[in-house]
Amino acid sequence: VRVVLTRQQMFTFGHRPETWQRVQLGAGADGALQSVMHEAVAETSRLEDYVEVVVNWSGQLYKSENVKLDYKLVSLDHASPMDMRAPGAAHGVHALEVAMDELAYALDMDPLALRLNNYTDHDAANGLPYSTKELRACYAQGAERFGWSRRPMAPRSMKEGSELIGWGMATGQWDALQMFARAAAVLHADGRLEVRSAATDIGTGTYTVMAQIAAAAMGLPMEQVIFQLGDSTLPAAPIEGGSSHVATVGSAVEGVCEKLQKRLFKLARAMPDSPFDKAKFADVRFREGAMELAATGDAPGASISLAGILAAAGEASIEEKYLMLPNMLKQKKYIRATHSAVFCEVRVDEAFGTVRVTRVVSAIAAGRIMSAQLARSQIYGGVVWGISQALHEETLADHRLGRFMNHSLAEYHVAANADIHDIDVIFVEEDDRIVSRLGAKGVGEIGIVGVAAAVSNAIFHATGRRIRSTPMTPDKVMAPGDGWAAGDSAIGLSPD
């Protein structure tokens, strides 16, 4: 079955809900947060209550003993909202991070220093520790790559020609999820490995990364591995969502490969005069299409090809199945999340109010990165979408009829090639065996979180004007005052 929707039809499918938010932060002169208050009012339709996690991030990201969070829904005569990349976090973290930047200026403190001053390894709401949190490394490596130490504190202090230049930064966080999944694998006597799971590939590279995981586990070249997905007759797997597919399906793939390894080891031990008869499974490894014993002293370990094991056993192929279930007893003791530090440079033509995002450095902590090329592509996409969120994307409704008015790509603006310049992605070393047996988390959603806030904070640094709603269009950049206009419908912070 293949379904292709027009842009107009996509507007009936759902949209990111509009939210109004107020963030109030209290801090001492040293920058230590004493209180965090975050309230949000979000739209839903009269047909259903669509709920997102919008304010909870404010109770998790920074250390504060006094946190108050409030979230309300307003039912409108409107189409139902639905999940859109990093639902809740893309705009909830935006509000928090713009408020943190404003607090930094109220304290005359570097925005990065303020965040480091309030760094925490625990969730303030429930006291749970993070399973892993290499956010400090994200800050350090991102700041160094960007050149943050050369940033003057005062707004409007950098200019080139007719353009004001601003540098801003923000933090990002997204859940590190894992669901259940099944996988099956068949190893053939000719060395081919077939791995099957009813996973999906929405263009993120599932085919490739699952084949890579299987090939690495079995010590086979990629060209001998076939990964089958996208069929309901295959072993069950969840949808590709929540940045969970690698941690979920990838763990199932590695699990079924381990079962194949143990089966091969058992067959090898049963061979006549087998060099493996007294070995333990922990003593063997799989590489270059063979199973081999670890070397002892100067003597190389015994080795036999996987095809040779099957031939000796008289097997044309062997098959195993595996059910991957999250270890909830272990995982519930921790808060599990991915993190980012986003650094951004903008150039603002004050005469026309136009903003160009000329440079972004995004430092990501997302567990083990199974495929750096595919993961980097995901972060590129998230950064592009975050820039688009910051400067372009806005759905306009006819308030008399509840219908969307700009339901084409001619009127609904998205970032184009001309809007995107230099994007530098850093993957910080992290290994999280609590989230998954692979040590991996996920890199889908985290790429967008914090980007719009970093753009907003950079615009303030360039212009001295605080814009508290998205998209930050030229009319808002040129507006008198601090950029807050009553009736702005996207994201608002209290003017207090």
Instruction: Return mean pLDDT, the chain.
Output: 93
Is the pLDDT at 363 greater than 70, yes or no?
yes
- pLDDT for the residue numbered 471: 97
Q: Which two tokens stand for residue 65?
A: 């003993």
Is the pLDDT at 483 greater than 50, yes or no?
no
Axis crossing angle, helix 251-269 with helix 206-218, rounded to the nearest 10: 30
Query: Under the phi-then-psi rule, with left for phi > 0, alpha for psi from -120 to 50, and beta for the rest, what region is 147?
Result: left
Q: What is the mean pLDDT of residues 299-309?
A: 86
Residue in the block written with tokens 């020609």? 161
d(Cα 14, Cα 82) in Å, to the nearest integer? 5
Residues 86-100: tens digit of each pLDDT:
999 999 999 999 999
- pLDDT for the residue numbered 44: 95
Residue in the block written with tokens 């991070």? 97
- pLDDT for the residue numbered 401: 85
- pLDDT for the residue numbered 298: 58
- pLDDT for the residue numbered 482: 56
pLDDT confidence of 491, banded at 50, 70, 90? very low
Length reported for the chain: 496
Alpha helices in 118-275 (DSSP H): 135-146, 206-218, 245, 251-269
CB atoms within 10 A of CB 412: 18
Q: Which two tokens stand for residue 251?
A: 């763990």
Q: What is the mean pLDDT of residues 447-471?
A: 97
Residues 317-332: tens digit of each pLDDT:
999 999 999 999 999 9
Q: Are 342 and 440 within 8 A, CB to CB? A: no
Alpha helices in 392-470 (DSSP H): 451-463
Q: What is the DSSP string of 39-77?
A: EEEEEEESS-------SGGGGTSS--S-EEEEEEEEEES
Q: What is the DSSP string of 309-377?
A: HHHHHT-SEEEEEEEE---HHHHTTSB-EEEEEEEEEEEEETTTTEEEEEEEEEEEE-B--S-HHHHHH
Cα 494 vs. chain centroid, distance in angstroms?
Answer: 28
Is the pLDDT at 484 greater than 90, yes or no?
no
Residues 132-153: tens digit of each pLDDT:
999 999 999 999 999 999 999 9
Is the pLDDT at 492 greater than 50, yes or no?
no
d(Cα 102, Cα 98) in Å, to the nearest integer? 6
| CA-closest candidate to residue 268, choices 278, 280, 257, 277 | 277
SS3 164: strand
- pLDDT for the residue numbered 404: 85
Q: What is the mean pLDDT of residues 165-185?
A: 97
Residues annotated as catalytic (active site), given as ranges: 445
Alpha-carbon separation of residue 389 from 100, 443, 450 (angstroms): 19, 19, 11
Q: Percent of the chain scored above 90 by pLDDT?
A: 82
Residue in the block written with tokens 């806030």? 453
Residues 388-437: tens digit of each pLDDT:
999 999 988 888 888 888 888 888 899 999 999 999 999 999 999 999 99
| Cα atoms found within 13 Å of the Cα of residue 122, Cβ hemisphere only | 9
Q: Are 387 and 418 within 8 A, CB to CB? A: no
SS3 readout for 88-156:
CHHHHHHHHHHHHHHHHHHHCCCHHHHHHHCCCCECCCCCCEECCCCHHHHHHHHHHHHCHHHCCCCCC
Q: What is the mean pLDDT of residues 55-68?
A: 94
Pair type for strands 225-228 and 193-196 = parallel
| CA-closest candidate to residue 459, choices 358, 326, 312, 338 | 358
Question: Domains of the chain (ranges plus CATH)?
Answer: 7-177+331-478 (3.30.365.10), 181-325 (3.30.365.10)
Cα 244 vs. chain centroid, distance in angstroms?
Answer: 9
- pLDDT for the residue numbered 496: 32
- 359 CB-near residues (< 8 Å, 6+ apart): 146, 344, 345, 421, 422, 424
Give 195: exposed, middle or buried? Use CB within 10 Å, 0-12, 13-18, 19+. Answer: buried
- pLDDT for the residue numbered 357: 99
- pLDDT for the residue numbered 486: 34
